[in-house]
Amino acid sequence: MSIFSIGLSGLSAAQTALSTTSNNLSNVYTEGYNRQLPILGESYSNGSTGTGVSVDEVQRQFNSYITEQYNDANSQTSALESYQSQVSQIDNLLADSDAGLAPLMQDFFSSLDDLSGAASDPAAREGVLGTASSMAAQFRSFDSYLGDMRSSLNGQLEGTVTDINNTATQIASLNDQITQARAKSGEEPNTLLDKRDKLVSDLNELVGADLNVQDGDTYNINLENGQPLVSGTRSYDLEAVSSSEDPSRTVIGYRDAAGNVNQIDDSAFENGELGGLLSFRSETLDSVQNQLGRMTAVLGSEFNAVHEQGVDLNGEDGEAFFNVGSPRVMSNSENDGNGEITAEYGDVNKLTSSDYRITATEDDGVYEYERLSDGKTGTLPDPDTGEMTVDGVALNVTGTPEEGDTFMLQPTRTAAQDFEVAISEGSEIAASSSGDGDDSNGEVGSGNNENALALLDLQSEKIVGGTSSVSDAYASLVNDVGNTTNITQVNLDAQSGLTEQLREYQQSESGVNLDEEYANLVRYQQYYQANARVIDVGSQVLDSVLQLR
């Protein structure tokens, strides 16, 4: 091998090294780029003398183990971020000292206190109507806000599912491109590999995903429940669909190889933006709206019951003071029978803030129910009483359900949306007792204050579950949401710190260091000049040989 060939091999290697270093510098701020390193090897023939240098490969500095750890941590961070952004909105709503429900409930009962001191005073009666209307309007406003959050969350779920499908499709396509590129050139397609790994990282921000590398080449990706999302060059779509149990609720469906869409339980998603949104809805949004509805149903029903025992200023028996929504029962769209269930409130003190799934059994007229908040189960009708009641809700079945048909009972979800004052005149307030005797104020019949005092007593009575007043229940709700918000923020801060540490560790291996690359640039430049000098020397030697002739 001549000195020229050796020098040329060095020039070629130096050019590759300079190009690789230049590419590193150019992509220092390119997200997902992994630093590349030229790997040089000695060329030799059958003899023992080297024949120059060769570029064995341009190696991508990529640590799959650290990257996998980082992706998992980032997926958990993304879940906490989406959860925190949602729950903080509810926390701000409930905890607002000016716009919250607490001051309006206090104003309402204060106006009843005023009425109890002047039962016949028209101004006091109008004051009660005014504060009652303001309080009821705020209940409806809070419920509307939570309903808007639910609709917005449905839209976010649809957008996230679209992003997941697009990302999975691109990964499957890159699997194919990478396989073909390797087959054609025999070299690693580093740019395509970087794109694929960046997409895997993006996918983990959207949804928790498990990566399996097949034959050191193809990426296969499964959801957290094990269902494939990417398998070789094929991707499987998720779909945002209306729940068969509750059409107002968007859930995630999985389209299998046969083209069927099967709904996936929310609990199957824990990480990524999708997991955070679904966890927030099931753990916080549903609970808060149910608790708000429970307070509405209890306050309205108990107030009505006492009000109807009294007499108004016209001597008429008291009527319902508030309009309160009813429990909601929905038939599963996949039911085979034609059964329907309706519901109404019974003993509202027994109401919970849970939803219930009711399932028709093989025995005609017998149902099983599951309280979704804690998994408690029971049989309907009640074996002891024979009544179709569950936790303060009375049920009525019409039609003929088939075995396995299910119904979703939401006792309090919609109770607040129609909460309003049912009477229009102050004279209709039944502040007096039904007796005709003199009261302590010397007033008679419809002008006494005994029923107003009974209504006022509801402020402190433990009518919510037999353990709390309505005000206490609201304070507990505000406290629970505040604690959830704080705990989520603490967890997010800790998880973000861990994610950042892993990212720094990953970048220490895969990221571009400007100082290091600049030093390499100078070194490879000198390497190039040295090999050029080798060729120059070879040329001088050849000239000297030719001059000898």
For the chain, the domains span 3-61+511-548, 71-75+156-279, 326-413
d(CA 323, CA 384): 33
Closest to 127 measured CA to CA, from 151, 154, 109, 149: 109
Say how many C-beta atoms besides its own lie within 10 A of residue 183's C-beta: 8
d(CA 442, CA 425): 25
d(CA 325, CA 321): 13
Q: What is the pTM of this model?
A: 0.91
Closest to 406 measured CA to CA, from 498, 336, 476: 336
d(CA 345, CA 327): 7
d(CA 196, CA 123): 73
List 36's β-bridge partners, or say none.
60
List 209's β-bridge partners, or say none.
223
Instruction: Locate 305 and state its tokens.
Output: 């019951």
d(CA 207, CA 200): 10
- 414 contacts 328 by C-beta, under 8 angstroms: yes
Q: Could you read off the pLDDT tens digit of each residue along the chain, which spans 549 residues?
A: 588 888 899 999 999 999 999 999 999 999 999 999 999 998 877 666 778 899 999 999 999 999 999 999 999 999 999 999 999 999 998 887 777 899 999 999 999 999 999 999 999 999 999 999 999 999 999 999 999 999 999 999 999 999 999 999 999 999 999 999 998 988 899 999 999 999 999 999 999 999 999 877 899 999 999 999 999 999 999 999 999 999 999 999 998 878 889 999 999 999 999 999 999 999 999 999 999 999 999 999 999 999 999 999 989 999 999 999 999 999 999 999 999 999 999 999 999 999 999 999 999 999 999 999 999 999 999 888 889 999 999 999 999 999 999 999 999 999 999 999 999 999 999 999 876 544 444 444 556 899 999 999 999 999 999 999 999 999 999 999 999 999 999 999 999 999 999 999 999 999 999 999 999 999 999 999 999 998 888 777 777 767 765
> How would you classify the pairing of strands 238-242 and 322-323?
unpaired
Q: What is the 3-state secondary structure (H, E, C) of 192-237?
A: HHHHHHHHHHHHHHHCCEEEEEECCCEEEEEECCCCEEEECCEECC
